[in-house]
């Protein structure tokens, strides 16, 4: 799931997943972080979901995927579209 909060010159995108699906650590990777799996790991929130927020410039588009333990790559069904094998979001 994607949560968006519009700011003056950026959009805060919060990437949200259930606490235990998939199990183990998960990161969001994309063109906005050089596809670095260590840049944006998801953390457990009070409501027991896992999330991380990334600030992106307004009116831009980005490709991303999630990377879970065991080299398991997957997409976000709430994405704005698809870019080949990747999820796509628009700010």
pLDDT at 39 (0 to 100): 98
Assign residue 50 the CATH number of its domain. 2.60.40.10
Q: Tell whether the model's pLDDT for residue 21 goes beyond 90.
A: no
Mean pLDDT of 23-38: 96
pLDDT, tens only, 59-81: 999 999 999 998 999 999 999 99
Domain count, the chain: 1
Residue 29, domain extent: 2-90
DSSP-assigned states of every residue in 11-76: EEEEEEE-TTSS-S-EEEEEGGGTT-TTT-B-EE-TTS-EEEEEEEETT-EEEEEEEETTTEEE--
22: preceding bond cis by omega (within 30 degrees): yes
Average pLDDT over the chain, rounded to an integer: 95
Whether this model's pTM surpasses 0.85:
yes
């Amino acid at each position: 799931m994607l949560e968006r909060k519009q700011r003056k010159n950026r959009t805060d995108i919060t990437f949200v997943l259930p606490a235990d699906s998939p199990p183990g650590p998960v990161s969001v990777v994309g063109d906005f972080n050089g596809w670095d799996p260590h840049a944006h790991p998801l953390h457990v929130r009070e409501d027991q979901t896992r999330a991380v927020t990334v600030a992106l410039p307004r009116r831009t588009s980005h490709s991303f995927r999630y990377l879970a333990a065991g080299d398991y790559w997957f997409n976000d069904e709430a994405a704005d579209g698809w870019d080949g094998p990747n999820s796509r979001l628009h700010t």
